[in-house]
């Protein structure tokens, strides 16, 4: 029995899903593929390479109203914002971006379950697409970051490119239910699913573990000044990242009425973590850049057991100043640890 699916088979399945769920998938635009809702399976970019921005915003929006307030009313009123969490399929998510969702899960479900995120996450079916080749050979280093480019164990459905088509595998009960009535048979998950051998997608070779270990002795190293010298503090690296999750909460309005909103933040911004008193614990760009690297490769792994970098390489390609995370990690990979320790 031929278990290979064609693109037409995937379209038929997608059309069935569209009857009950919103589908967010890569679509082609003049600026390249972007994540957007589709109304027809024909709009999906089935062989899209990589989007410039990750699908993170469909789970953690860039701007989100938490509640509205009216202090001029008698009595004062607080109105919670309605949850915008329709049943959704994130379709054709590469393993690096699935790993980004895993990073969001760990934070947003940690000591407090964030209700808006949880509502969207619980209603989202993750359909992954393995990479047969690196979408950006000059910047992809997912395998070095511990992500298998060919397999996404945290997805609900895994689509794997094979010669002459694709194989489709359900990894969760939700994924299996979504495939009822599928146009072609499914393949079984490998016996070692969850710990498969790294795929052969041609990602950059890098010893991230060695670099992370070396970081622990370089906190006070003057090298941070030169490594961050080109950084303009635009925050692009954080905005394209699948795993960054920092946000700011502000009131937009006046003393009488307005909204409390949550907006994405970025550690590169000069006001990031600035105190209301005016004190800024990281007044220089070098200190903010060091925070970014330590958060991804030291602090977050200590708390959650895996990197806060999925090796997607978007920050490398998007940085307007040409800063290259791979080159930065290679600096530490090649140098022995000094004194200072992680903080």
pLDDT tens column, 203-248:
788 889 899 999 988 999 999 999 999 999 999 999 999 999 999 9
With the C-alpha atoms ordered 286, 287, 293, 294, is the resulting torsion angle positive or negative? positive
How does the average pLDDT of the chain come out, rounded? 92
Q: Name 278's Cβ contacts closer than 8 Å, sequence gap at least 6.
A: none
Higher-confidence residue: 140 or 343? 140
Where are the alpha helices (H) located in the chain, listed in sequence order?
Answer: 7-18, 95-108, 115-122, 173-178, 208-215, 223-227, 236-240, 285-294, 300-304, 314-318, 325-334
pLDDT digits (tens, 9 = 90+) for 251-279: 999 989 999 999 999 999 999 989 989 99
Give the per-residue pLDDT at 1. 73
83, 204, 222, 234, 287 from 270: Cα distances, Å: 32, 31, 20, 9, 10
Check residue 255 and report its DSSP letter: S
pLDDT recorded at residue 110: 93
pLDDT, tens digit, 9 for 90 and up, residues 274-293: 998 999 999 999 999 999 99
Reported confidence tier of residue 193, pLDDT bands at 50, 70, 90: low
Output 201 or 47, whichever has higher pLDDT: 47
Q: What is the mean pLDDT of residues 147-158?
A: 94
How confident is the model over 80-106, as pLDDT tens digits? 999 989 999 999 999 999 999 999 999
Residue 196's pLDDT is 53
For the cut 80, the answer to whether the pLDDT of residue 342 exceeds it is no
| pLDDT > 90 fraction of the chain, expressed in percent and rounded | 85
Strand residues in the chain grouped as ranges (E): 22-27, 34-38, 63-70, 77-80, 88-93, 124-129, 157-162, 165-170, 247-253, 257-264
Cβ burial, residue 68 (10 Å; 0-12/13-18/19+):
middle
187, two tokens: 């393949």
Instruction: Give the pLDDT confidence score for residue 339 in this predicted structure.
Output: 44
Q: What pLDDT sits at residue 335?
A: 76
Determine how β-strand 124-129 pairs with β-strand 157-162. Answer: parallel
- CA–CA gap between residue 159 and residue 152 (Å, rounded): 9
pLDDT computed for residue 341 by the predictor: 46
The answer to whether the CB of 148 falls within 8 A of the CB of 166 is no
Residue 337 has pLDDT above 70, yes or no: no
Among candidate residues 36, 35, 177, 21, the one with its CA nearest the CA of residue 86: 21
């Amino acid at each position: 029995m031929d278990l290979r699916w064609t693109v037409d088979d995937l379209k038929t399945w997608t059309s069935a899903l569209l009857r009950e769920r919103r589908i967010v998938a890569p679509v082609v635009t003049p600026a390249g593929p972007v994540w957007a809702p589709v109304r027809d399976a024909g709009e999906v970019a089935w062989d899209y390479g990589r989007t410039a921005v990750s699908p993170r915003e469909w789970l953690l929006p860039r701007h989100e109203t938490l509640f509205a307030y009216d202090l001029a009313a008698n009595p004062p009123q607080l109105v919670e914002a309605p949850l915008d969490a329709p049943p959704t399929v994130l379709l054709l998510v590469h393993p690096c971006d699935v790993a980004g969702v895993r990073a969001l899960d760990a934070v947003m479900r940690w000591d407090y379950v964030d209700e808006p995120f949880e509502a969207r996450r619980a209603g989202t079916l993750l359909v992954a697409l393995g990479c047969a080749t690196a979408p950006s050979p000059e910047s992809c280093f997912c395998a070095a970051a511990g992500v298998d480019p060919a397999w996404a164990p945290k997805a609900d459905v895994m689509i794997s490119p094979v010669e002459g088509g694709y194989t489709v595998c359900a990894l969760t009960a939700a994924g299996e239910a979504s495939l009822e009535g599928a146009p072609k048979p499914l393949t079984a998950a490998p016996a070692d699913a969850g710990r498969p051998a790294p795929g052969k997608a041609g990602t950059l070779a890098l010893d991230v573990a060695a670099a992370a270990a070396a970081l622990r002795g370089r906190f006070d190293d003057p090298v941070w000044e030169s490594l961050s010298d080109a950084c303009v503090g635009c925050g692009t690296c954080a905005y394209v990242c699948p795993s960054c999750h920092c946000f700011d909460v502000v009131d937009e309005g006046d003393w009488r009425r307005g909204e409390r909103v949550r907006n994405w933040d970025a550690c590169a911004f000069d006001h990031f973590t600035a105190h209301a008193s005016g004190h800024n614990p990281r007044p220089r760009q070098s200190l903010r850049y060091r925070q970014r690297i330590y958060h991804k490769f030291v602090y977050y792994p200590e708390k959650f057991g895996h990197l806060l970098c999925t090796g997607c390489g978007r920050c490398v390609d998007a940085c307007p100043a040409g800063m290259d995370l791979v080159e930065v990690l290679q600096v530490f990979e090649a140098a022995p640890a000094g004194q200072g320790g992680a903080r």
